[in-house]
Structure 1
Amino acid sequence: MDYMVRAVAADESIRAFAATTKETAEYARQAHRMTPVCTAALGRLLTGTVMMGSMMKEDKGVLTIQVKGDGPIGALTATADSKGHVKGYVNHPGIELPLKDNGHLDVAGAVGAGTLTVIRDLGLREPYVGTIQMPSGEIAEDLTYYFAESEQVPSSVGLGVLVDTDLSVRQSGGFIIQVMPQADGQVINQLETALRSMPSVTSMLSDGLTPEMILGQVLGEFDVKIEEKMPVSFSCDCSKDRVRHVLSTLQMSDLESLAADNKPIDIACNFCGKSYRFDAGELREIVERRKG
């Protein structure tokens, strides 16, 4: 089962998150019929987003991360709440690229150069929006840079997705380690040393490490306290009523044209791929309601 943990260490001068998201990434792969490089890119973003979503204290808060690069994959979007639910999609899920010289998937090449935007909707009048120019397109490095630039929180983000030979997700997960303002120089130096010697996320997961063990790997010199453990899942709240509402916002001429064709239409949810059918009668009903 996918889950994440939230912890503190070094007298709460360090806060940390770690997650295993294999089932979540595999659900996304199947829902969007993604190629390996797209699976790796979206899997990383889903993992980072769900951990960042858990940082919100508001029960009804929603966090969205949009990655808009000039690579062939197009834009990526992921949305999470504070309870471990996450969803996401890529614009071009069928893109394939050659492997890098080291045999790894070329996520940076697929994403390209561009912007990463974090939108926190906490139920207030205006959401918080922070945007950076991505330094790498590797997602983890970009989120590390985002925390430093937009939130002034020194952080280390590690994300990884390992795709098997049958194209399914073999491993997926990640961590976020953050240094709080009260951390002293010795703690920071010890943490930096530990992070430099850490194996990759996918190698740790392949070796059987749990999220708790991953945090222990990097924070072993500190007194680590697990504060919370919560399940993680790909969860979409789409419904036919929501899609009907979107249809009703189309221009009247477009709605009338759809109804006049006297044919059913199918509309798929961007996030989960589920399709909703509207027959001619339902389309005419939407038109009539718009007319009042």
Structure 2
Amino acid sequence: MTTTPRDYLVRATALDERVRAFAINATGVVRELQRRHDTHPAVTAALGRTAMGALLLSAATLKEEEQVLTIDVRGDGPVRRILATANGRGLVGNPHAHAESRNGKLNVGGVVGTEGYLAVTRDLGMRETYRGMVELVSGEIGEDLAYYMAKSEQTPSAVGIGVFVLPDLSVEAAGGYLVQLLPGLSDDEIGAIEQRIAALPHPTALLREGATPEQILERIFPEGFTFGDSQPVSFHCPCSRERFESAIVSLGPDEVRRIIEEEEQPFTEVVCHFCNQAYHFSPDQMNAILDAAR
């Protein structure tokens, strides 16, 4: 039986805080996403990369825990849409999408597509949200996120994220890194970082060898870095029966009665698209919910 490693994200700085770096092991998160959505391999990799991208970007750009970051990818590939939030949850338009492998590797760009956009939305807990959007570069997610950071955030960044899927569709490893280059770096310093990142094995190769997020950063910054902190990451969906009860109330009495009359089953099933958790409401329960709201 495959054991689940500890899922967590680390923050660090290097070169007198002129570089910010983040690394993550999210194997358990992506396993849970695959299980809940029954995704096929290339879609598992696409969804997993997007979810990890949301976690890394959230760590890099948000300051408060109550602030929420969402990545929305819409391409012309068969998966159609990928949506992920920085609490490890996500959804896909077509979980069973497929694209022929490329050079023996999962063809993430093939299921996502190369025409479309990647949007990042930040809910800062205020009345308005902030949204940035860029066209897709490759559909491989990591390159698209790096392009977003450079164009929308004006922060040159390197993003390396990956998911290793076994033949039985389960996830063996998922993780990666985000490196942000801040003002003040010399061309030589930038070149040295770029060379080390280019020579770095794929993130999942490192994780499968047992490397930790800290050890991934050590490969990128052999001269040393300053460790910031670490935080656990996990799949979390805030849906609940109470939230769906509120949704039933919002439909209004006439619509609820229509649903009850047309329902062929002894209950109405409501499913959360993010986690596929099903909630069942009998006609008596739905009527009671409406009565309590009056």
TM-score range, shorter chain: over 0.9
Per-residue Cα deviation, 1:51-82 (whole angstroms, up to 9, x for no partner): 112231112111111111121112111111xx
- My pick for the range that moved more, 258-267 or 3-12, is 258-267
Q: 1:251–1:103: structure 2 CA closer, same or farther, 3 Å change rule?
A: farther
Per the TM alignment, residue 237 of structure 1 is displaced from its structure 2 partner at its CA by: 1.1
The structure 2 residue matched to 1:28, chosen from 24, 33, 39, is 33
**Aligned partner letter, 1:177:** V
Identity of aligned residues (%): 39
Within 5 Å, give how 1:42-191 maps onto structure 2: 42-55=47-60, 56-80=62-86, 85-100=87-102, 102-112=103-113, 113-191=115-193
Contact 1:108–1:136 under 8 Å retained in 2? yes
Q: How far does the alpha carbon of each residue in 1:173-199 deviate from its partner, in whole angstroms, 9 at most, with x for none?
A: 010000112323332121122122222
Match of 1:207 in 2: 209
Q: 1:37 aligns with which of 30, 39, 42?
A: 42
What's the offset of the Cα at 1:254? 3.2
Q: 2:49–2:142: 8 Å Cα contact kept in structure 1? A: yes
Query: What's the CA shift string for 1:71-121, capped at 9, x where partnerless?
Result: 1112111111xxxx3211112112233222x11111101011211110111
**Corresponding position: 1:9 with 2:14:** yes
Superposition TM-score, scaled by structure 1 size: 0.93
**Per the alignment, in what secondary structure is the counterpart of residue 150 of structure 2?**
helix
Alpha-carbon deviation of 1:235?
Answer: 0.9
Counterpart amino acid of 2:53?
A: G
For 1:212-254, what per-residue CA distance to the aligned partner results, in whole angstroms no more than 9, with x for missing partners?
Answer: 1111111113x31110111111111110111222233336543
Q: Which moved more, 1:180-189 or 1:48-57?
A: 180-189
Tell me the TM-score normalised to structure 2 length.
0.92
Q: Whole-Å Cα distance in 1 between the matches of residues 214 and 183 of structure 2?
A: 24
Q: Report if the CA contact (8 A) 2:260-2:268 is conserved.
A: no
Across the aligned residues of Structure 1 and Structure 2, the Cα RMSD in angstroms comes to 1.6
* Farther off after superposition, 143-152 or 45-54: 45-54
Structure 2: stretches of 5+ with no match in the other structure: 1-5
Between 187-196 and 61-70, report the one with greater CA deviation. 187-196
Structure 1's unaligned 5+ residue stretches are: none
